[in-house]
Amino acid sequence: MGRFGLALKVLFDGEFAEEVRQLAAPSKEPAEVEDQMNYEAVHLLALLQREGRLVDFLREDIQQFQDAQIGAAARSVHEGCAKVLADYFSVEPVMKEGEGDPVIVPKGFDPSAVKLVGQVTGDPPFKGTLAHHGWKASRAELPERPEGQDKTVIGQAEVEVSS
């Protein structure tokens, strides 16, 4: 059926016309959109906020503060975030050698674990100096979120009630 035939059917078939109107009308409820939120990442951010006030620190315009004030705030953020790292993660170096030590990167190395910098030419093995040993997780266990908690809340709003 072409457009003209469809138009005639809408004009002369009341039930069909109503179905078309319902399909064409904007939905009264928001359309279901595939959820793009990574709630585990939000949960981690919430833990870093709760223990170290990381989001507060990063969202603050620190240009107006003196270095000593920033250092004092950073010490508190560092302490809280280090607690989250220690409580919920185990991390270990990717490479066991010390920073500054000579290393050999073998053929078949994992480029997601080892980043080559400097004058990289040719094929492995590569000889170089370890600039940073890297990190990898050997444990990652976040605590359960309380039942019914809004999964998008990173930190609660705080209201000081006065009488």
pLDDT digit string, tens, across residues 70-103: 999 999 999 999 999 999 999 999 999 999 999 9
pLDDT of 11 above 70:
no
Whole-number pLDDT of residue 5: 55
Per-chain mean pLDDT for the chain: 87
Query: What is the three-class DSSP state of 90?
Result: strand
pLDDT at position 20 is 61
Residue type, 103: V
Q: What is the DSSP letter of 103?
A: E
Q: What is the pLDDT of residue 14?
A: 67
Model confidence over 117-129: pLDDT tens digits? 999 999 999 999 9
- CB of 43 within 8 A of CB of 142? yes
